[in-house]
Chain A
Amino acid sequence: MKRYIIAILAMAVLASCEETVQLDLKETEPVVIIDGLVSDQFKNQYVKVSRSVDFYAEGTSKAITNATVSVTDGTTTYNYIHNPTPDPENDGLYFSEVRFAGEVGKTYELTVQVDGATYTAEDSLYPVTAIDSLTFIINDDEFEEPEREGYYYEMLFYAHEPQETEDFYLFKFYRNDTLVLDSPTDIYFSNDDLLAEEINGIPTASFYKMGDTGTVEMYSISNAGFIYYNDLINLLQSDGGMFGSPPVNPRTNVKGGALGFFQASSVVSETIKVEE
């Protein structure tokens, strides 16, 4: 967010310059990263376990393939197995042995054991409101000067926000089944602190062309999830601490020294096609 202030400053002075610099960084002890979701959809739920890498390392987090992973809702324990297919793309991904659907009102507890260390996390599954409808409109600016030829349809989102409960939402938008973000550091999420009941046509990410399909997935998240995504976006969009706070690791619900988040969500989704 604060990075925009620098952009505004730069615009105001018609100057400023960005250049890549090489930071002189020491090697760091890697940290375990946990990324898991229990949704209310009946399926093999997943947990991803990996290790951080040095900032300038090639590729991304290193998969951990020898972890022991399980999730319990207090009565039933689900064991997870590493990459059952197996598919090299899914290294580091653990799937529940059996398919199950998370249930609203339950709290799920994750246990991950890696090389003798134990990490636990719990998250509660909340209900999510329905998506009333989606529509496409022509975005005038994009119509006049499209960034990509033909992509000037904007998907709008309609819903009713229940005012009597405290709710938190995470959104994912897909164009023809591909996740779209306006910027690679964007996360679409919200609490309902400032929301009125009627959500009347909120623009979603990116633009669409004639014939495209657009999909919105809306996830319920817990307060801990909201805090995690809020901290995460602040970190992703940090200006280095000039106008905003210094970058810092997001607050996680994972205990034991790992980073990442273990999330329980209800999910609803809606799809619409751009047509004449």
Chain B
Amino acid sequence: MKHTSLVAFLAMIFFISHQSSAQERHTVNGYVKDAENGEELIGATVLVKELGTGTVTNVYGFYAVSIPPGTYTFQFSYIGYQTIEQTFDLKENVEFNIELPVEAQQMDELIITDEAIDANVSDIKMSKNELDIKQVKKLPALFGEPDIIKTIQLLPGVISAGEGTSSFFVRGGSADQNLILIDEAPIYDPSHLFGLFSVFNADVIKDSELYRGGIPSRYGGRLSSILEVRTKDGNNKRLGGSAGLGLLASRFMLEGPIKKDKSSFIVSGRRSYVDVFLKATNQDNLVHFYDVNAKVNWKHNNNNRFFLALYLGRDVFSFEDVFGFDWGNTTGTFRWNHLYNDRLFSNTSIIASHFDYKLALEDDAQGFDWKSNLHELTLKQDFNYFLNTSNEFEFGYHVTYRQFSPGRISPTSESSLFAERAIDKMYALDHAFYVGNQQKVSDRLTFRYGLRLSVFQNIGKQDVFIYEDPKDNIDPTRIDTVSYGAFENIKTYVNLEPRFSARYLLNANSSVKLSYNRMVQNTHLISSGTVPIPFNTWSPSNPYLEPQIADQVAAGYFRNIKDNSIELSAEVYYKDIQNVTDFADNAQLFFNEDLTTEYRQGNSWSYGLELMAQKKEGRFTGFVSYTLSKTERDVPGVNNDNPFLANYDRRHALNLVGTYDLSDQWQFGANLSYSSGRPITVPAGRYQYDNYQVDYITERNGYALPDFHKLDLSATYIPKKNKDRKWQSSWVFSVYNIYSRKNAFTIYTRLKELDDDVYSDEKEAVKISLFPILPSVTYNIKF
């Protein structure tokens, strides 16, 4: 069955290539860029007016159109930029780079002159959102710190576990099923301060997009979504920068040409200074985080372009110089874009990602130091082949080497009670071969189809324990140990992941789209909480942990109204996950050498309806999103084998997000969120054991937290620019949770306290809410 589909697919490719060679064609290719700073524009539209067809720039800003000889008018357009037309008398291949100037600030409602069909309707992509970082910055933010992840949590199909968290849940997937990439490098924990902020510094972000369905074959490795964040390349025209002073953190960014139009750099830093306040109040408890982003590029010519991007971030907590912990991500990406010929675009990337955490206690008797880390190194070779205006191929090979060190504990003093211990490291090699094609079948119908072959290997060096009963987590009995040498194969899993999308244009302003994708995940988060914490570890698939497999179908109706100024979409989806990784009730996930006995895999299913209305241009911009969804799990060995609602199941989620530009000086933003409470486990009864009053639990996630809602407002003031000054300042005033609703973060139980340290035998339930009304102000400068 798998083989037949592969053969059919290869036959289709052959057929298309054969057909295409029949006619002489020339190619126009190049990069579409922002005229102001030379940044490539991703997803810019290139329309050949005579043919009524065209393409969009790829993720590197590159386009190529192959057409028969003739005279053509090309139209280059991108939202927020002026549309430019260029005529070619095509007799040979043409290399044409174009820079689009930013649209003049229009204070009146924008008049759309252009009749081009908007991407919302015409693009084959569905279940995908791009975030405009400029808009994110205008929106109200917690502590005035703009954060794309907090905005992502407002998108349709995306659920948040609670305010102040940086995890998000896409179409019934858990937080670890999102592949979060910064310049192609995965981020294993996107949180600062346990999720109050994400690791993404808004000053360096150029573009970010979230796929929650219809995922192209070039992406893989996680089940539920791809969040791709791309940082700026750095202005290659002039030296500039920005700085911001916020309530909790300050930021600085500098960018500029190394060689004008050829090479540029960007470097940026952000640091929190809660610790400075704490120090001022004579507290020895120190908390801070920082981020550093740096990137250089060298665009030698259109045929060879090189990029090097680095990210480094860390959180550091220290309590009275005795106890402390820290965690952080480090990533590096080297990228080479190369044109083998006018139609074959290649991207070669070498990507490294590292995550680690450390806990330390300074004490003579109990001093210890606990370290855990995860490294990975990836080689990616991607090709885009722009066959003709009807077919755009992509194919490639990715290989990733991963090393997991779940934990090593070492004594930090001679008299420490701790012995030196470490849990075996684990290693994995992950190969992926993929092919895909976007095929324009007719003016109305476009397909995108692809296949990804995932070959995963759990490799040595490792000692694999064989258990009498691999699910006995009370008294695990090892009957044998099999030793594997370095790079020796322990277990291989091969999976074929078909991907398919179709778009049918009903008319110039409406379309229907359909997609199916299978995703496979071989990297599993070891956490049984709702929100991952940095101290969670990861594990590769192994003899005891099978790959998680998700199948998702989605269908949608897309329509633009009012001259494309308002984009509407309605999507329904159904997602089924096999082998969803969960853990036994009472699983011991920290420093457990027999962790494999805690694994429980089962099924998860989710379905939902997602509605969105978005206005991207004009004085007023914003969106309304509504998600109706349900997510359940059925995992043998969990919740007495009964199905249960996923921790992050929320029936309804409604978000209203808007910004309004009143004048050149004043801009306003608002965000209203409502969602039904997520499920939580509460006691049904209570009993005494020894001196303890213990909750009696009858079912998991059987109680709903109160509904969540809040309203945030912001105002940005941009003082009139002083012509003698080279810099422009702005003030962002933000009020978070303006009516100060005490939204439930979680509920736990405790003994009633009768007097200081005197407790009753009776218990009470306590709701924790994190943020009351929180005003903040941020001062920014740009130069």
Contact = CB atoms under 8 A, between A and B. Distances in A.
Contacts of A21: 744, 747, 765-767
Interface in A1-58: 2-3, 5-6, 8-23, 25-26, 28, 30-31, 33, 35, 50-55, 57-58
B529 interface: yes
Interface stretch (B86-94, B546-554, B586-594): B586-594
Contact of B682 (A5, A25, A58): A25
Interface stretch (B328-336, B436-444, B693-701): B693-701
A246 B690 contact: no
Interface centre among A52, A55, A227, A232 (most CB of B within 10 A): A55
Given A2-B529, A201-B364, A10 B770 contact: yes
B417 A196 contact: yes
Interface in A238-253: 238-251
A44 to B, nearest CB: 18
B697 A247 contact: yes
B365 A202 contact: yes
Interface in B724-757: 742, 744-751
A33 B531 contact: no
A245 B583 contact: yes
Contacts of B474: 223-224, 227, 251
Contacts of B772: 15, 17
B365 A203 contact: yes
A240 B744 CA distance: 11
Contacts of B691: 179, 181
Contacts of A227: 474, 586
Interface stretch (B147-155, B379-387, B408-416, B601-609): B408-416
Interface string B754-779: 00000101111111111110100000
Given A21-B765, A50-B688, A60-B686, A246 B748 contact: no
Interface centre among B474, B684, B742 (most CB of A within 10 A): B684
A248 B638 CA distance: 10
B22 interface: no
Contacts of B597: none
Given A53-B685, A55-B683, A194 B409 contact: yes
Contacts of B770: 9-10, 13, 15-17
A245 B285 CA distance: 27
Contacts of A14: 274
Interface in A154-181: 156, 161, 179, 181
Contacts of A33: 687-689
Interface in A206-244: 223-224, 227, 230-232, 234-236, 238-244
A196 B529 contact: no
A53 B417 CA distance: 41
Contact of B419 (A196, A242, A244): A196
Interface string B708-720: 0000000000000
Contact of B681 (A25, A185, A203, A241): A241
Nearest to B771: A15
Instruction: Classify chain B: how many residues form its interface, as a range.
Output: 35 or more
A156 B417 CA distance: 13
B700 A9 contact: no
B687 A61 contact: yes
Nearest to A179: B691
A127 B694 CA distance: 29
Given A5-B533, A8-B194, A245-B587, A52 B696 contact: yes
Nearest to A253: B474
Contacts of A54: 684-686
Nearest to B421: A194
Contact of A20 (B421, B694, B698, B764): B764
B529 A243 contact: yes
B687 A52 contact: yes
A12 B193 contact: yes
A74 interface: no
Nearest to B275: A12
B685 A17 contact: no
Interface in A185-212: 185, 187, 193-196, 198-203
A6 B475 contact: no
A19 B529 contact: no
B69 interface: no
Interface residues of A, number: 81
B208 interface: no
A102 interface: no
Interface string B547-579: 000000000000000000000000000000000
Nearest to A58: B762
Contacts of A201: 364-365, 415
A194 B366 contact: no
A244 B411 CA distance: 26
B478 to A, nearest CB: 13
B696 A240 contact: no
B161 interface: yes
B317 interface: yes
A259 interface: yes
Nearest to A31: B696
Nearest to A224: B474
B555 to A, nearest CB: 34
B71 to A, nearest CB: 63
B692 interface: yes
B421 A31 contact: no
B703 interface: yes
Interface in B149-179: 161-162, 164
B98 interface: no
B287 interface: yes
Contact of A240 (B285, B690, B746): B746
A8 to B, nearest CB: 7
Contacts of B689: 33, 35, 232, 259-261
Contacts of A50: 687-688
Given A59-B762, A202-B365, A52 B196 contact: no
B680 interface: yes
B122 interface: no
B745 A6 contact: yes
Nearest to B532: A243
Interface string B177-211: 00000000000000001111000000000000000
Contacts of A235: 694-695, 697
Contact of A17 (B196, B688, B742): B742
B747 A60 contact: no
B395 to A, nearest CB: 42
A184 interface: yes
B595 to A, nearest CB: 13
A241 B529 contact: yes
A251 B767 CA distance: 27
Nearest to A237: B748
B316 to A, nearest CB: 12
Given A185-B692, A199-B417, A240-B681, A246 B647 contact: yes
Given A2-B529, A60-B686, A242 B745 contact: yes
Contacts of B761: 59-60
Contact of B688 (A9, A25, A60): A60
B585 interface: yes
Interface in A118-172: 156, 161
Given A194-B421, A200-B415, A18 B767 contact: yes
A52 B697 CA distance: 11
12 contacts: A16-B771, A19-B767, A19-B769, A31-B687, A35-B689, A52-B686, A156-B365, A194-B591, A200-B365, A236-B692, A240-B748, A247-B695
Given A17-B772, A28-B698, A245-B528, 7 more contacts: A54-B684, A57-B685, A184-B692, A185-B750, A199-B365, A248-B585, A251-B586
Ranked nearest first, the 4 interchain pairs of A and B with the lowest CB-CB distance are A245-B528, A52-B687, A240-B746, A28-B684
Interface of B: 143, 161-162, 164, 193-196, 274, 285, 287, 317, 364-366, 368, 409, 411, 415-419, 421, 474-475, 528-531, 533, 583, 585-589, 591, 593, 647, 680-698, 700-701, 703, 742, 744-751, 759, 761-772, 774
